[in-house]
Amino acid sequence: MTGLAVDDAAWASTWRPRAVGDKLLLTLGLVLCALVLPVWPGSLLVGLTAVGLALGPARVPARVFARAVRLPLAFVAVGAVTAVVQVSTDGIGWAPDAAATGGALVGHALAGGAAVMLLATTTPVSDLLPALRRARVPAAVVEVASMIYRLLFVLLISMRTIREAQTSRLGYSTARRSYRSSGLLAAAVLTRSWDRARRLQGGLAGRGMTTDLRVLPEVLPSSRSFLAGTVLGLTVLCGLTVVLS
């Protein structure tokens, strides 16, 4: 495997063949709901929906999803605590509504994070890039982004192998050696990346590359019932939030 668990999950997801537009409508809808709806019960509903859809119909492994959503927790916790601590002339204390403000921050962040991960674990990044093209992003920019996606896996493997070789030769046994090894590692990966680009250029010229990297667009048919379900679901979610809050 490639080692980027979210990417592996996206390619293996049962939602991978769904139209990117369908998934974008649903997930961006959830992201927006997480952002603008009041935390109770909006965030809870968005979070539950995202988790339910990912683990249920989209068949994303629970472990991958949980780990991905957990990753930003350190930032969210530290950031939320910092936001609700009050600094005044008589020292440091909690702001008056610390619990509510902190809770709201964590709630919004978790719900939003889960919604973004629903997109990320069901849609490979390379599927999203053609959608950028439809959103009027210049072709050259989309092609550069596609190359980044392809090459980052090649370079990640290089980086891991070099680091393993360095570790094996005791390159990370002290902090000082770790710095030195990291510098050598960064330089090695940089030279590899240039070399890769140069060689790929030769390889693609041989395949008749002219000015762009044109490929056959993949046809992923849009589903009316999925779109209808999305609109209905998001409406119900907003309605419930308004009624309950």
Partner 1 sequence: MHIAEGFLPPAHAIGWTIAAAPFVVHGARAVVKEVRENPESTLLLGAAGAFTFVLSAIKLPSVTGSSSHPTGTGVGAILFRPPVMALLGTVVLLFQALLLAHGGLTTLGANAFSMAVVGPWAGYGTYRLARRASGNLLVGVFAGMMIADLSTYVTTSLQLALAFPDAESGFLGAAVKFLGVFAVTQVPLAVAEGFLGVLLFRVLTVN
Partner 2 sequence: MSGGRLAATDVVVGYSRGSRVLDRASLAVPEGRRLAVLGANGSGKTTLLRCLSGALVPASGRISLDDAALEHTRRGLQAHRQQVQLVLQDPDDQLFSASVAQDVSFGPLNMDLAEDEVRARVVEALELLAVTGLAARPTHQLSYGERKRVAIAGAVAMRPRVLLLDEPTAGLDPSAVTEALAALDRLQRRGSTVVMSTHDVDLALGWADEVAVVVDGRVVQGEPEPVLGDDALLARARLDRPWALSVGARLHQLGLLPEGPLPRDTEALLAALPTGTAPTTPGRS
Which of these ranges, 11-19, 63-71, 217-225, 228-236, lies near partner 1 under the rule CB under 8 A?
63-71
Select the residue interacting with partner 1 from 62, 99, 100, 148 (CB under 8 A): 148
Which residues does 244 contact at the CB level (< 8 Å), separation at least 6?
Answer: 40, 41
Per CB under 8 A, 48 contacts partner 1: no
Per CB under 8 A, 141 contacts partner 1: yes
What would the DSSP string read from start to end of 167-204?
A: HHTTTTSSHHHHHHHHHHHHHHHHHHHHHHHHHHHHHH
For partner 1, the closer of residues 212 and 228 by Cβ is 212
Which residues does 73 contact at the CB level (< 8 Å), separation at least 6?
Answer: none
Least spacing, CB of residue 20 vs partner 1, in Å: 13
167 binds, among partner 1, partner 2, none (CB under 5 to 8 A by kind): partner 2
For 91, the enclosing helix (H) or strand (E) is strand 91-94
Contacts to partner 2 from residues 186-225, by CB under 8 A: 187-188, 191-192, 196, 199-200, 202-210, 213-216, 218
Contacts to partner 2 from residues 30-69, by CB under 8 A: 61
Number of helices and strands in the chain (H, E): 10, 2
Least spacing, CB of residue 232 vs partner 1, in Å: 23
Total Cβ atoms within 10 A of residue 7: 19
**Cis status, amide bond into 72, omega within 30 of 0:** no
Least spacing, CB of residue 245 vs partner 1, in Å: 17
Total Cβ atoms within 10 A of residue 65: 23
Per CB under 8 A, 78 contacts partner 1: yes
Per CB under 8 A, 87 contacts partner 1: yes
Select the residue interacting with partner 1 from 45, 69, 118, 237 (CB under 8 A): 69
Select the residue interacting with partner 1 from 25, 152, 227, 240 (CB under 8 A): 152
Q: Please give the angle made by the CA atoms of 104, 63 and 161, to the nearest 5 degrees.
A: 115
For partner 2, the closer of residues 136 and 207 by Cβ is 207
Alpha-carbon distance values, 159 to 25, 119, 150, 151 (Å) = 36, 27, 15, 12
225 binds, among partner 1, partner 2, none (CB under 5 to 8 A by kind): none
Two tokens at 49? 């929906």
Two tokens at 90? 């008589």
Binding site for partner 2 (CB under 8 A): 1-2, 5, 7-8, 11, 17, 61, 124-126, 146-147, 149-150, 153-154, 157-158, 161-162, 164-171, 173, 177, 184-185, 187-188, 191-192, 196, 199-200, 202-210, 213-216, 218
